[in-house]
Structure 1
Amino acid sequence: MNQQPLPPSAAPAVRRFTVPLSATRRGARLARLLAVQQLSEWGVPLDPARSLVAELAANAVLHGRVPGRSFRLTLSVTGPGVLRIEVTDPRGDRLPSGAPSGDVPAESGYGLAMVEELADRWGVRVGPVPCKTVWAEVRLRA
């Protein structure tokens, strides 16, 4: 799998959905449910996106939680037929183990091994302070 980051401005979104969610197990579940609903409305295949959203949202709640702060789910379909899933949490100081800071690939953790397997590309981007965004991309099959 290629983990090279895509600069945010390199692929303008054709479709975009973003929502803040509570940093709770309920919020993580709601992220998955809302993603399924939105992807269905767009006519985008649910798998593997559903599993990627579930894992990234669960990680945000478990490892990126700050009391009183939410996390953000963003789904975007870009022109070249790529679904990008981004989960932003307020813990930029807590990167996945072994991940250097900046817009670079991240490695480690059992859940992230699943992300590695399911995504065509993924990584972590730090900022804006104090946040970090873990993102995954999948090519949309015709």
Structure 2
Amino acid sequence: MQGHIGVQVPVTVRTFTQLFSCTPRGARLARRLVANRMDVWGHAYDSEASESVTLVVAELAANAVTHGRVKGRDFRVRLVMRAGEDTVRVEVADARTERLPVLRESPGPGEEDEGGRGLLLVDALAERWGTGLCVGGAFKTVWADIRVPRP
């Protein structure tokens, strides 16, 4: 059967989007709800895929709470998985557009630990990651693409 020019085949997209309070409790809840969503999508709680996605969300949510907090503003977590693809896109958005994440090497012996290890984990688990600013500068999004085998 030949395809028709201009005809697009629909693609199934699974998404999860939730706002959380910009508090440690909100970050913990984000981790739990993402683990649940991965289970609903066929990746069991103890699977490598679920643990990787959940860990990345936990690190990015912790960064949003620690470095992206603006009084009265929540942070948003969004997951996107397209049918036929082996990746989940994780997005965590917060209101501090002037504070972009910086990947730092682990401190050496005798050096102060100034944080930044969470991004080392994100960098290790993600196929790629980066940041984006909302048009108009209302928020920034830190995103990561995590490879997950099909269940």
Q: TM-score range by the shorter chain?
A: 0.7 to 0.9
Q: Aligned residue for 1:20? A: 19
Instruction: Tell me the CA shift for residue 126 of structure 1.
Output: 1.2
Instruction: Tell me the CA shift for residue 35 of structure 1.
Output: 0.2
Equivalent residue for 1:54, pick from 58, 61, 72? 58
Q: Aligned residue for 2:138? A: 130
* 1:1-142 aligned within 5 A: 14-44=13-43, 45-79=49-83, 80-97=85-102, 107-108=103-104, 109-128=116-135, 129-142=137-150
User: How many correspondences in the alignment?
Assistant: 122
Which stretches of structure 1, 4 residues or longer, exceed 4 Å deviation after superposition? none
SS of 1:47's partner is helix
CA distance in 1, matches of 2:26, 2:146: 23
Between structure 1 and structure 2, the one with the greater Rg is 2
CA distance in 2, matches of 1:48, 1:116: 11
One-letter amino acid of the counterpart of residue 19, structure 1? Q
CA distance in 2, matches of 1:69, 1:49: 24
C-alpha RMSD over aligned residues: 1.4
SS of 1:123's partner is strand
1:16-43 CA distance string (max 9 Å, x none): 0100000000000000000011110011
CA distance in 2, matches of 1:75, 1:96: 19
One-letter amino acid of the counterpart of residue 36, structure 2? Q
CA distance in 2, matches of 1:50, 1:140: 12
Which ranges of structure 2 fall in alignment gaps of 5 or more residues? 1-10, 44-48, 105-115
CA distance in 2, matches of 1:114, 1:31: 18
Instruction: Tell which has more relative contact order, 1 or 2 (C-alpha 8 A, sep 6+).
Output: 1
Instruction: Tell me the CA shift for residue 111 of structure 1.
Output: 1.2
Instruction: Tell me the CA shift for residue 92 of structure 1.
Output: 0.9
The alignment's TM-score, normalised by the length of structure 1, stands at: 0.80
The alignment's TM-score, normalised by the length of structure 2, stands at: 0.76
Instruction: Tell me the CA shift for residue 141 of structure 1.
Output: 1.3
Instruction: Tell me the CA shift for residue 13 of structure 1.
Output: 6.6
